[in-house]
Amino acid sequence: MGRMLLAAFRSPELSPGGRLVERTAVRGVLSRGRELLLLASRHGDYKFPGGGVEPGESFGSALHREFREECGYADVVVGAELGTTREEVPAAEPEYDVFGMTSHYFACSGGSPVSDQQLEPYEAELELTPQWVTVDDALAANRAVLASGVGVMRWLVREIAVLEWLSARSR
């Protein structure tokens, strides 16, 4: 199978153009048999561990940091890049119109829980908790939360697209 490239989400209220602030993120697809290590939210949906790459940080270093912070996992082996997603939403900063984020997804293996999570405030508010779950169960949960309208829409659209790609790839 080739790499996925998903134009995952663009907020409908965004006008074309505008002042753009860019963020690059990494996300880990850590598998154990038929299950993935995902972060469950209090809404019942799942997202891949990962987040923004800091200036001067490699993709691998960023993923190791994110697995430690979000999952409490160390010694995760970062493998090949599977592909990317793209999101564009209204910017939080007043000097920008659009927040654009490209997420790079990597196949991962190994790892073990070694510490407590160190969540950012918004992650703690969502009560993100690492859980092993099958692709199909995560996909069903995310579709249900998206239909209910209670979750973080852009994440759900992005993660559903990636989970659909992984599901099709495993058939």
Which residue in 62, 103, 108 sits closest to 84, CA to CA? 103
Question: Could you give the 3-state DSSP secondary structure of residue 72?
Answer: coil
What confidence category does residue 141 fall into, taking pLDDT thresholds of 50, 70 and 90?
Answer: very high
Range with the largest mean pLDDT of 13-17, 125-129, 149-153: 125-129
Q: What is the CATH number of the domain that holds 111?
A: 3.90.79.10
- Pairwise CA distance, residues 170 & 91, whole Å: 36
Q: How far apart are the first and last CA of the chain?
A: 11
What confidence category does residue 1 fall into, taking pLDDT thresholds of 50, 70 and 90?
Answer: very low
**What Å distances lie between residue 38 and 27, 44, 120, 128, 142, CA to CA?**
10, 12, 17, 9, 12
Reported as a single tens digit per residue, the pLDDT across 20-75 is 999 999 999 999 999 999 999 999 999 999 999 999 999 999 999 999 999 999 99
Please give the residue range of the domain that contains residue 37: 4-169
Reported as a single tens digit per residue, the pLDDT across 86-100 is 988 888 889 999 999
Place of tokens 């809404």: 43
Torsion angle of C-alpha atoms 132, 116, 76, 133, degrees rounded to 10:
10
Reported as a single tens digit per residue, the pLDDT across 113-128 is 999 999 999 899 999 9
How many domains does the chain fold into? 1
Cβ contacts of 13 within 8 Å, gap of 6 or more: 90
Does the pTM exceed 0.95? no
